[in-house]
């Protein structure tokens, strides 16, 4: 994971709303906030790209310029035990308020959304980094609290990101299934109006290409326009939120609960992000 500033463990920037995650590093090597030395030039992809920059669009090989992408795994493992902290109101980006953060959903068997989100984010991070992308996660592990949605919402601009993708799974009526991509609407700035739509379309098309289907219960052809998501409302960089599946649907619960299934989601998300980065 990339470490740009002291604020990258975003919980540290939220005015003390999210204490505990600071020192834990239980989530495996790629989630451990590494020293600044890893920034960008740690390996060859970017230099390889610059010396052999293709003149024609390519869907393979490293992405030129080593762009930064923020991945925002929704919720957090410590939220449920810190209801007062996560329940406090924070700005929603449109003049109202929302709770700082929520616990998220789970499968009927008890596999939690926050764990799914974090695992898929880490898997996506690995694919992106192999393509020369520098990745920032909004939380360093799955045992902390928060960060609040307004803090997540400004992560893209703080990291100078080319794209921001929030990763979630839904908890809807069991009969519904499929993914949807949420976008801030009406748009509050040019990035939300134009590039975010392009990013969302790229994510949608990649998920479809990977064999996942549009939501049967929400949005329109896999796209949902939302005024109420603070994490998107605050973004001034291209941003989208993906609800990968309905965790209450038995078939999709099986997919999200398997490592193979999560790798499929990660590969699709990374493919969508890379497609956008190559043709924004
Ligand atoms: Zn969620």
Q: What is the pLDDT of residue 38?
A: 36
Distance 236 CA to ligand 1 centre (A): 21
Residue 47 has pLDDT above 90, yes or no: no
pLDDT, averaged across the chain: 85
User: pTM of the full predicted structure?
Assistant: 0.81
Percent residues over pLDDT 90 in the chain = 77
Residue 52 has pLDDT above 50, yes or no: no
Distance 107 CA to ligand 1 centre (A): 12
Residue with tokens 């003149």: 55
Residues 6-17: what's their mean pLDDT? 34
Distance 280 CA to ligand 1 centre (A): 26
- Domain segments of the chain: what residues? 63-278
Distance 167 CA to ligand 1 centre (A): 8
Least confident of 55-59, 124-128, 146-150, 232-236: 55-59
What are the tens digits of pLDDT across the range 68-103? 999 999 999 999 999 999 999 999 999 999 999 999
Burial status of residue 269 (CB atoms within 10 A of its CB: 0-12, 13-18, 19 or more): buried
Residues 48-61: what's their mean pLDDT? 46
Q: How confident is the model at residue 280 (pLDDT cuts 50, 70, 90)?
A: confident
DSSP string, the chain: ----STTSSGGGGSTTS--GGGT--TT-GGGS---GGGTTTTSSHHHHHHHT--SS--SSSPPTT--EEEEEE-S-TTGGG-HHHHHSEEE-SSSSEEES-----B-TT--BHHHHHHHHHHHHHHHHHHTT-EEEESSSSSSS----HHHHHTHHHHTT-SEEEEEEEE---TT---BEEEEESS-SSHHHHTHHHHHHHHHHHHHHHTT--B-SSSSBTTEEEES--HHHHT-SS-EEEEEEEETTSHHHHHHHTSHHHHHHHHHHHHHHHHHHHH--
Distance 33 CA to ligand 1 centre (A): 23
What are the tens digits of pLDDT across the range 184-203? 999 999 999 999 999 999 99
C-alpha distance from residue 14 to each of 116, 148, 239 (Å): 24, 7, 20
What are the tens digits of pLDDT across the range 231-250? 999 999 999 999 999 999 99
Q: Give ∠ CA 193-2-223 in degrees, rounded to 5.
A: 30
What are the tens digits of pLDDT across the range 141-158? 999 999 999 999 999 999
Positions marked active-site: 243
Q: How confident is the model at residue 26 (pLDDT cuts 50, 70, 90)?
A: very low
Q: How confident is the model at residue 215 (pLDDT cuts 50, 70, 90)?
A: very high
Percent residues over pLDDT 70 in the chain = 79
| Cα–Cα dist 34/55, whole Å | 34
Distance 208 CA to ligand 1 centre (A): 21
Residues 22-34: what's their mean pLDDT? 35
| Ramachandran angles phi, psi of 163, nearest 5° | -160, 150
Distance 138 CA to ligand 1 centre (A): 14
What are the tens digits of pLDDT across the range 160-184? 999 999 999 999 999 999 999 999 9
Q: What is the pLDDT of residue 37?
A: 33
CATH code reported for the domain at 63-278? 3.40.630.40
């Amino acid at each position: 994971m990339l470490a740009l500033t002291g604020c990258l463990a975003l919980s540290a920037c939220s005015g003390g709303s999210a204490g505990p995650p600071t020192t834990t590093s239980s989530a495996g090597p790629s989630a451990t906030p590494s020293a600044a030395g890893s920034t960008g030039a740690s390996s060859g992809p970017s230099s390889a790209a610059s010396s052999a920059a293709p003149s024609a669009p390519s869907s393979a090989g490293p992405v030129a310029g080593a762009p930064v992408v923020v991945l925002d795994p929704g919720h957090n493992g410590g939220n449920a035990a810190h209801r007062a902290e996560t329940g406090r109101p924070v700005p929603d980006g449109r003049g109202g308020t929302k709770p700082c953060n929520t616990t998220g959903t789970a499968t009927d068997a008890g596999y939690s959304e926050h764990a799914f989100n974090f695992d898929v984010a880490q898997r996506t991070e690995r694919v992106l980094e192999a393509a020369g992308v520098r990745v920032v996660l909004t939380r360093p592990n799955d045992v902390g609290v928060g960060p609040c949605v307004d803090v997540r919402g400004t992560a893209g601009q703080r990291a100078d990101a080319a794209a921001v993708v929030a990763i979630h799974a839904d908890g809807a009526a069991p009969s519904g299934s499929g993914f949807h991509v949420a976008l801030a609407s009406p748009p509050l700035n040019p990035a939300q109006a134009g590039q975010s739509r392009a990013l969302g379309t790229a994510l949608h098309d990649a998920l479809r290409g990977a064999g996942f289907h549009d939501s049967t219960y929400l949005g329109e052809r896999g796209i949902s326009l939302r005024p109420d998501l603070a994490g998107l409302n605050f973004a001034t960089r291209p941003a989208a939120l993906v609800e990968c599946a309905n965790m209450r649907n038995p078939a999709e619960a099986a997919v999200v609960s398997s490592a193979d299934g999560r790798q499929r989601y990660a590969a699709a998300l990374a493919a969508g992000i890379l497609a956008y980065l190559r043709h924004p």
